[in-house]
Structure 1
Amino acid sequence: MSDTRQPQRFAPTKEDIETLALQALNRLPDPFAAHLSNVILFVEDFADEQVLKEMEIDDPFGLTGLYTGRPVGHEAQTGDTPPTVHLFRRPLLDEWVETGVALDALITHVVVHEIGHHFGLSDLDMHVLEDMVAP
């Protein structure tokens, strides 16, 4: 007797999201790639309550990514923490399901947007860069 059930599918894990984010980062051209060695990537299910409060976001599903740190070209200060990009898995997965955009394209979009803050790029510049690294 053959098994005709569909294979069980699971939501992408934090590790899956991280893999897609690293692939997007690896597609960034020079001179961008040369300035990313000190940027730390975190993947978490949601932003913590303090971050949401500071950003005046009521719905934890309303934030898919966040850049923190001093942008390239700004003088470092004593006590600065390394620049970080946070990706928030659950809001990303909700947006993925709601929009039907391919997950790798969505992750690339958010990664480029957050890295754009690291470089002080305008929204237009971020869109141009995103087109250059699209999966």
Structure 2
Amino acid sequence: MRPTTPPSTEDILEMAEDALAAIPQPLRDMVRGTAIVVEEVADDETISDMELDSPWELTGLYRGVPLTQKSSLDTPREPDTIFLYREPILLEWIETGEDLFALVRNVLIHEIAHHFGLSDEDIERLEGEE
């Protein structure tokens, strides 16, 4: 039976948590303490900071200090957070026809890669090697 309403923020969060649970334990341990937050779209400040034309361009965002830049001497700041943006994810889902869980997983993995200190260029290079 097909759903009659679009997936909610809670549905997207559940998919992200399922995707996170499927990551190998050693990597999952390195992400422990990183919050996953699902919002409808990125806020105006984020769109401006990233110099984007539209909130529809951003499906996910990592905010925090990458592991490659952390020190045990650092004073704790706000927790590292991965934001998933529901409406742009759903728009991409509609436009591409990709499986929604696979799309959410890909956005989550991309943002986890930023947590590990990889740049967008690094990630694109790795994705090109598949």
**Pairwise same-fold verdict (TM > 0.5):** yes
Question: Which structure shows the bigger proportion of residues in helix conformation?
Answer: 2
In structure 2, the residue matched to 1:106 is 103
SS of the counterpart of 1:67?
Answer: strand
How many residues align? The count is 124
Q: 1:24 to 1:8 in 2, by over 3 A?
A: closer
Preserved contact between residue 112 and residue 126 of structure 1 (Cα < 8 Å): no
Taking the aligned partners of 1:11 and 1:120, their CA distance within structure 2 comes to: 33
Gaps of 5+ in 2: none
- 1:125 deviation in Å? 7.6
Bigger Rg, which one: 1
Percentage of matched positions with identical amino acids: 39
Whole-Å separation in 1 of the counterparts to 2:85 and 2:76:
26
What stretches of structure 1 move > 4 A for 4+ residues in a row? none
AA aligned to 2:71 is: E
1:75 paired to 2:66: no
Within 5 Å, give how 1:56-95 maps onto structure 2. Answer: 56-73=51-68, 74-75=70-71, 77-78=74-75, 80-95=77-92
Deviations along 1:75-128, one digit per CA (max 9) or x if unpaired, are: 263352111000000000000000000000000100000001111233168649
CA-based RMSD: 2.2
In structure 1, the gaps of 5 or more residues are 1-5
Change (3 A) 1:70 1:126: farther
